[in-house]
Amino acid sequence: MINDQWIKTREKDKKSSQSQTLISRQALFVLCCQRFVFLLRKTIISQKYFWFIVSIFKEHNPSKSRKLVRELARVQRDFIGVVHRIKFWWLQRRYDNQWPAQLLLTDGTQPPSSKIAVLAMYQPGGLRASTLETCDHLADCGYTVVAVSNTPLNEADRNTLAHQVYKICERPNYGYDAGAYRDGVWLLRREGLKPDSLILINDSILFPLQKKTDAISRLEAKNDTLGGLVRKTRYKADLKVGGETTGFIEAYFYHANLRDPDIRSLWETFWDQLRLTSGRAYLKEGRVSEFFDHANQPLNTLSSRNSFLQSVEEMNNSELLKTLQYGAYCVPELSETNKQLLASEPDTNWRRTALDHIRETVSRYPFYGSFIYGSESLMQLGFLKRTNSPLFRETRKSYLRAVDAGDLPRPSDTILSELRELIVLHKDT
């Protein structure tokens, strides 16, 4: 009896000790967070004094003052990053513990297949007609669509979309497109679906520009691991290797060939380990590409800056002239060079200057934004960015000029209508 009572007392003391330890750890965590916030505030407040010192120092040694400013920005960025990583860890833990209770799932009418596309959407103003055309094109290519919306859909849009997809998932806009992609991948696993071919696409692009675009079939034929429409690299890094560095696949379109069990395992591991963010400043577009590259898996894309430049060099002067004629610019010096080239007679020196100009432009800006005619005639990617940036506003105008002149194929009426709406909305005049 005494021994039993002693054992119960010991167990009670042990539980109490564990509870106190847990409470003390939680208190320590909260204290650390409070300390970080306090130091962060002090850092921000002290900046005004720092800039005063820099202004005095700048008069005596401008180069060192610039370095000082860069170092301060780096230290502050790293410091704030630590605070946000703690915040993101807590937010993701809460989100994952609730999953999938926070999702609103609607069954569509389309059956699943061995090819599936996860379409990430954010359309608070209502479902766009071009999104339905994207679903139609994916279905024509043999893909069943899972639509993941980062904003609630109204009843009419939900019913319309359900007729063209296998499933609709409405979720909080946590993690942005990466979060939508991940929830789509997780849903497929939850449904017991193991597609051989998987596309991740978001609605930041108008795709396809023409219904007969063969970009997907070309990508399927080329890609045996992870692929996409465009590979982005750093220009200076390319120069150092005298060719093309690995870079990363731009995140608005991925294609994963999952027939190989090792590739499928690698793919699922990435999405299980992915750390989501709640701030666009901390998004890292190249994470999935880096993950595959570190696993020594090749990245296969239909285009890159290097491949575009190689193709441009093979153009005749007539095609080169059209590439410049429909060039899009957001800085005056490049636009002025373009005007001078268009006003000159094409000869050997002109060609050399034109190629140098194109090379300089795409070293600073995306080739498919700066030279839409060259991009579509050479690469045939079949998409336009919807981004409201100075460059892509000019790109949309250049594209419409080329279509009106008959130099590029006419897109669908839906795409044309949305392009003109974007021009009015963003005042692309």
What band does 36 get if pLDDT is binned at 50, 70 and 90? low
Q: Which residue has the higher pLDDT, 43 or 291?
A: 291
Q: Are residues 292 and 368 in the same domain?
A: no
Question: Do 367 and 246 belong to one domain?
Answer: no
Among 130, 127, 132, which residue's Cα sits nearest to residue 384?
130
Q: Is the pLDDT of residue 426 over 80?
A: no
Q: Where residue 27 falls among pLDDT bands split at 50, 70, 90?
A: low
Residue 336 or 15, more confident: 336
Domain shared by 36 and 63, yes or no: yes
Where a domain ends, among 280, 302, 324? 302
pTM (two decimals): 0.82
293 lies in the same domain as 415: no
Over the stretch 189-213, which tens digit does the pLDDT of each residue have? 999 999 999 999 999 999 999 988 9
pLDDT band at 39 (very low <50, low <70, confident <90, very high): low
Residue found under tokens 């007392």: 9
Q: Check if the beta carbon of residue 195 is closer than 8 Å to that of residue 113.
A: yes
Q: Are residues 174 and 210 in the same domain?
A: yes
Give the model's pLDDT for residue 396: 96
Burial class (CB in 10 A: 0-12, 13-18, 19+), 167: buried
Residue 230 has what pLDDT? 97
Q: Domain residues for 278?
A: 104-302
**Mean pLDDT value across the chain:** 85
Domain identity same for 291 and 340: no
Q: 281 and 395 in one domain? A: no
Share of the chain above pLDDT 90, in %: 69
pLDDT digits (tens, 9 = 90+) for 16-25: 444 444 445 5
Task: Mark whether 293 and 342 lie in a shared domain.
Answer: no
- Same domain as 393, residue 412: yes
Is residue 66 domain-shared with residue 133, that is, in the same domain? Answer: no
Question: 166, 112 in Cβ contact below 8 A?
Answer: yes
Q: Which 3 state secondary structure label does DSSP give 148?
A: strand
Tens of pLDDT, residues 292-311: 999 999 999 999 999 999 99
CATH of the domain at 234: 3.90.550.60
Residue 86 has pLDDT above 80, yes or no: no
Please answer whether residues 171 and 180 qualify as being in contact, where contact means their C-beta atoms are separated by less than 8 angstroms.
yes
Q: For residue 307, tell me if it sits in a domain.
A: no
Kindly state whether residue 278 falls inside one of the protein's structural domains.
yes
Residue 308 lies in a domain: no
Number of domains in the chain: 3
Pair (277, 390) in one structural domain: no
Q: Let me know whether 258 and 114 are in one domain.
A: yes
230, 381 in Cβ contact below 8 A? yes
Q: Is residue 116, in this structure, part of any structural domain at all? A: yes
Q: Which of 82, 98, 114 is the last residue in one of the domains?
A: 98
Task: Identify whether 141 is part of a domain.
Answer: yes
Give the pLDDT of residue 428.
47
Domain boundary among 65, 83, 98: 98
State the amino acid at position 409 in one-letter form: P
